[in-house]
Chain A
């Protein structure tokens, strides 16, 4: 079964750090660019960051640029989102997803991991 499972969320103080993990089926990680999308409570979807299939290219939303780092460890089948200098406005449910396959449209999402930034 194809799965994406996020972990690492929790409560953190403003200015703190968290590292989110997204454990993926091997074939997803090897064949897809990977993306983090977040959703603040009661709000819409917001793209956070993407990583190319080969890991060579990273992309960030302006709201997180310079604070978040996306990376992947193919041997462990994990995509990471290192979040530093966290702010209250980073509070959200963070989803991991693969970019839709351009031929089949296959697209998988995790269940999300909740990050709460509060003192």
Chain B
């Protein structure tokens, strides 16, 4: 059972803006950065957001991240069919002294 809690699924229509939440605690998101990964079936995860709100080079600015208290969010604007994938949040946990991943959020583009 993940200590970082994400909704198991979400959906949206093309062009829409959606957000995916990631709820943690004081020992992880509350005191450390959040990271967001995108994973397509049969492929390795790809980093979308690091240090809670920064995008690596090559990640479209349609993807944005934010953090408030012990929660983090990933927003995808201008939704496209190719965004349909699994999304994971991650954070270092000071108490466990290890990384935590949230359970996947499956995004469906209707």
Contact = CB atoms under 8 A, between A and B. Distances in A.
Asked if chains A and B come from one complex, the reply is yes
B44 to A, nearest CB: 4
A105 B100 contact: no
Contact of B96 (A62, A109, A110, A111): A62
A107 interface: yes
Interface in B10-53: 35, 37, 39, 44-47, 50-51
A9 to B, nearest CB: 14
B50 A95 contact: no
Interface size band for A: 20 to 34
24 contacts: A37-B45, A37-B101, A44-B86, A44-B101, A45-B101, A45-B104, A46-B101, A47-B98, A47-B100, A47-B101, A61-B98, A62-B98, A95-B44, A95-B45, A97-B45, A100-B35, A100-B47, A102-B50, A104-B56, A104-B57, A105-B47, A107-B47, A109-B46, A111-B44
Interface of A: 35, 37, 44-47, 50, 59-62, 95, 97, 100, 102, 104-107, 109-112
